[in-house]
């Protein structure tokens, strides 16, 4: 709300559901000015409270600790794509997605994460991540790919401070601010067989699946490989367990 | 190279038989809305017929040699030949790296009888798009020299190991070339080195271009043969960080024998996990031990070919849903059709159908639904 032209959308998600809480489904709430407060603030606050309450009270079964964040970001990207399609021609819009989460980011959503990161990169959407609990290595890659900011906050009490100082400024303004120094991102690959990070691995030339050991058949695309030719002969020095 | 470009792209008309019957004026008397709809339908159709590249794991090395001579300012392509070419080139670069994620590209421009390398071989597609965007302001002067352009590309491609796939794509607007010596010598050298050349002519056919393509383009790039369905050993370098120590200034292998600017000593970089040679950019083939070095996201960029998003079914709109599940657009009278995901049973608008299958490759409904999400996981 730094500028009246800025637009905000808020989504909530856990392991079972992803929903827009602002603007919510249906008509906007009927808001009257309260105590001279800027009406938009009141509208956002009321709508978010109401919709969050709905989400939290309707889910009765157990919710797992890992949220389906990649899918939520996918929805956000579709929303932004619509805004970009329907904007006045010539109008420049800087769009970004700020993810605030205490969830983990296991490799089970790897493909969806990568798809949303590359899409955001293509659409010039910046992805910022504010990690409240554990370190999120996949989301950190997403920030790096989209030129966003990744920050794992040291203590939850400081959340508001961090949101205001680190995440409120627009990406173009950030260059002028003193922000936490960029960390080097670990881009090692996880093998498809054990989901373990590896330095050297074997990649299927047909589908690019990654394996930590040589095997005669690709488990992803079922290609049967020729016995290593002259190109891969060097790898024979390593023991091959069959 | 020419065979990589979808010929349909240039034959838009094929999707538009009797399009005039479909064009209607909208309420305000504008044609635009219905034209947009026709384009969308064509897009959807194209997407459904999209073929999957069967070999993603090929490391291609491609130089794009672009004519930036006076001839490119002609306005037979709108707004000008150059601007039109750059726009298409941008799409081409994206598509090239999408289908050949561990490949490398370089860009050379030809103007005023000289050739100038504006991008070295590399795999950072963002950099190329930026460079191509910057070319809109290039001064279009004089005649091109095809020979100088080819020689410059060859000089760089020669440094690659002999089994590497090497290609040149020439985009010519000019009908003439102003060469310092006999271009036939250059053509036979390219042939000898196994560099495959393709030419896109924007004007009438130029004899020497036809000859170039014919003589060098007969055989498929050599690496295509070598790499047929194999398991390639690759390295995934990570940046070396020793806590608390300053990284030493070192020379990277990519610039070790280059005299250009930028070949300075640097800290940081990617180290080959096998022999510890340093490189400043990935992907690259290690010059000392031959290991192909890539980063995991380079490969991941193409995984959508393996695991495409579930397809959507076109259904007559009958108030099945209030709004599009993804973009929240409220469905109205104007939406004659809605799109149903066969997997997660959510409804989407036409725009989202195209966005999801063209760009995103993840169905937002499936990815936010624990049941369909698990189904997808077990497929992997
Ligand atoms: Zn495979
Ligand atoms: Zn090496
Ligand atoms: Zn939609
Ligand atoms: Zn779906």
Q: Which sequence spans correspond to the domains of chain A? A: 1-65, 68-186, 188-228
For the ranges A185-189, B4-8, B259-263, which has the lowest average pLDDT? B4-8
pLDDT at B245 over 50: no
Fold classified for A68-186 = Rossmann fold (3.40.50)
Q: Which helix (H) or strand (E) holds B292?
A: strand B292-293
Position B361 confidence tier, pLDDT thresholds 50, 70, 90:
very high
Ligand index nearest the alpha carbon of residue A199: 2
pLDDT at B137 over 80: yes
Say which of B232, B295, B352 has its CB closest to residue A78: B352
Q: Which of B341, B333, B329 is nearest to B375 (CA)?
A: B341
Position B163 confidence tier, pLDDT thresholds 50, 70, 90:
low
Among B223, B281, B329, B360, most A C-beta atoms within 10 A, so best to mutate, is: B360
> What tens digit of pLDDT does each residue of A154-210 get?
888 888 888 888 888 887 777 777 666 666 677 777 788 887 778 899 988 878 888
Position B25 confidence tier, pLDDT thresholds 50, 70, 90:
low
- pLDDT at position A97: 92
Position B184 confidence tier, pLDDT thresholds 50, 70, 90:
very high
Rounded mean pLDDT, B107-125: 89
Rounded mean pLDDT, B11-36: 49
> Per the CB < 8 Å rule, is A220 touching B94?
no
- pLDDT at position B28: 52
Using only C-alpha atoms, what is the Rg of chain B? 24
Q: Which residue has the tokens 């670069």?
A: B93
Say how far apart CA A128 and CA A99 lie, in whole Å: 6
Q: Which residues of B touch A25 (CB under 8 A)?
A: 322-323, 328
Position B338 confidence tier, pLDDT thresholds 50, 70, 90:
very high
Rounded mean pLDDT, A51-64: 75
- pLDDT at position B82: 93
Residue that wins the pLDDT comparison between A236 and A147: A147
pLDDT at B380 over 60: no
B 2-61 → A contacts, CB under 8 A? 54-58
Q: pTM of the predicted model, to two decimals?
A: 0.72
pLDDT at A137 over 70: yes
Position B168 confidence tier, pLDDT thresholds 50, 70, 90:
very high
Rounded mean pLDDT, A118-125: 91
Given a contact cutoff of 8 angstroms between Cβ atoms, the answer to whether B138 and B66 are in contact is: no
**CB-facing half-sphere around the CA of A79: CA atoms within 13 A:** 23
> Per the CB < 8 Å rule, is B56 touching A208?
yes
Instruction: Dig out the tokens for A93 from the structure.
Output: 């819009």
- pLDDT at position A133: 87
Q: What is the ipTM of this complex?
A: 0.82
Q: Which helix (H) or strand (E) holds A111?
A: helix A110-122
Say how far apart CA A115 and CA A227 lie, in whole Å: 33
- pLDDT at position A126: 93
Cα of B311 from ligand 4 centre, angstroms: 8
pLDDT at B3 over 50: no
**Chain mean pLDDT for chain B:** 78
Q: Which of B191, B184, B203 is nearest to B157 (CA)?
A: B191
For the ranges A118-127, B67-76, B286-295, which has the lowest average pLDDT? B286-295
Name the maximum alpha-carbon separation found in chain A.
79
Burial degree of B319 (CB within 10 A; 0-12, 13-18, 19+)? exposed
Q: Which residue has the tokens 């080819």?
A: B150
Instruction: Dig out the tokens for A57 from the structure.
Output: 């009270």
Contacts of B118 (CB under 8 A, 6+ apart): B107, B108, B109, B131, B135
SS3 call for A165: helix
- pLDDT at position A50: 82
Cβ of B273 under 8 Å from any chain A Cβ? yes
- pLDDT at position A180: 65
pLDDT at B340 over 90: yes
For the ranges A137-141, A142-146, B48-52, B282-286, which has the lowest average pLDDT? B48-52
Q: Phi, psi (5° rounding) for residue A26?
A: 80, -170
Residue that wins the pLDDT comparison between B38 and B30: B38
SS3 call for A154: coil
Rounded mean pLDDT, B166-170: 92
Given a contact cutoff of 8 angstroms between Cβ atoms, the answer to whether B204 and B173 are in contact is: no
> What tens digit of pLDDT does each residue of A62-108 get?
666 778 899 999 999 999 999 998 888 888 888 999 989 888 877 77
């Amino acid at each position: 709300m730094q500028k009246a032209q800025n637009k905000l959308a808020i989504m909530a998600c856990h392991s079972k559901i992803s929903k827009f809480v602002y603007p919510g489904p249906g008509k906007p709430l009927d808001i009257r000015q309260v105590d001279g407060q800027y009406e938009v603030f009141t509208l956002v606050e009321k709508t978010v409270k109401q919709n969050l309450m709905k989400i939290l009270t309707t889910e009765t079964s157990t919710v797992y600790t890992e949220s389906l964040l990649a899918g939520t970001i996918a929805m956000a990207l579709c929303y932004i794509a619509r805004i970009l399609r329907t904007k006045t021609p010539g109008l420049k819009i800087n769009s970004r997605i700020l993810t605030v989460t205490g969830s983990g980011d296991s490799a089970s959503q790897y493909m969806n994460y990568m798809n949303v990161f590359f899409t955001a990169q293509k659409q010039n959407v910046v992805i910022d991540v504010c990690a409240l609990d554990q370190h999120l290595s996949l989301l950190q890659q997403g920030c790096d790919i989209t030129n966003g900011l990744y920050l794992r906050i040291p203590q939850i009490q400081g959340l508001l401070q961090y949101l205001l100082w680190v995440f409120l400024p627009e990406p173009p303004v950030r260059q002028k601010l003193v922000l936490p120094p960029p960390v080097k991102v670990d881009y090692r690959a996880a093998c498809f067989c054990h989901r373990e990070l590896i330095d050297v691995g074997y990649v299927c030339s047909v589908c690019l699946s990654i394996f930590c050991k040589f095997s005669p058949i690709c488990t992803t695309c079922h290609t049967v490989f020729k016995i290593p030719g002259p190109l891969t002969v060097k790898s024979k020095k390593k023991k091959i367990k069959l | 190279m020419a065979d990589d470009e979808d010929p349909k792209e240039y034959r838009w008309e094929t999707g538009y038989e009797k399009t005039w019957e479909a064009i209607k004026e909208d309420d305000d008397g504008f044609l635009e809305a219905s034209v947009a709809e026709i384009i969308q339908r064509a897009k959807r159709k194209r997407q459904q017929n999209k073929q999957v590249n069967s070999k993603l794991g090929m490391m291609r090395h491609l130089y794009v040699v672009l004519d930036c001579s006076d001839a490119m300012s002609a306005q037979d392509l709108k707004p000008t030949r150059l601007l039109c070419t750059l726009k298409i080139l941008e799409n081409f670069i994206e598509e090239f790296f999408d289908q050949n994620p561990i490949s490398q590209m370089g860009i050379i421009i030809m103007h005023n009888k000289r050739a100038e390398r504006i991008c070295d071989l590399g795999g950072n597609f963002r950099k190329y798009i930026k460079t191509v965007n910057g070319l809109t302001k290039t001064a279009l002067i004089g005649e091109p020299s095809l020979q100088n352009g080819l020689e410059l590309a060859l000089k760089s491609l020669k440094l690659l190991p002999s089994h590497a796939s090497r290609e040149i794509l020439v985009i010519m607007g000019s009908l003439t070339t102003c060469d310092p010596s006999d271009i036939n010598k250059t053509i036979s050298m390219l042939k000898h080195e196994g560099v495959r050349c393709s030419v896109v002519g924007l004007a009438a056919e130029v004899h020497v271009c036809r000859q170039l393509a014919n003589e060098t383009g007969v055989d498929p790039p050599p690496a295509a043969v070598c790499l047929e369905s194999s398991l390639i050993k690759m390295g995934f370098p990570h940046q070396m960080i020793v806590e608390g120590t300053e990284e030493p200034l070192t020379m990277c292998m990519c610039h070790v024998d280059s005299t250009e600017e930028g070949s300075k000593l640097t800290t940081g970089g990617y180290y080959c996990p096998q022999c510890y040679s340093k490189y400043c950019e990935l992907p690259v083939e290690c010059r000392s031990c031959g290991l192909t070095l890539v980063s995991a996201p380079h490969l991941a960029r193409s995984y959508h070919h393996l695991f495409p998003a579930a397809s959507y079914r076109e259904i007559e709109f009958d108030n099945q849903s209030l709004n599009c599940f993804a973009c929240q657009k409220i469905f109205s009278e104007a939406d004659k059709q809605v799109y149903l995901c066969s997997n997660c049973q959510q409804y989407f608008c036409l725009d989202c159908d195209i966005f999801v299958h063209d760009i995103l490759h993840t169905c937002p409904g499936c990815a936010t639904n624990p049941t369909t999400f698990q189904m997808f996981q077990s497929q992997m």
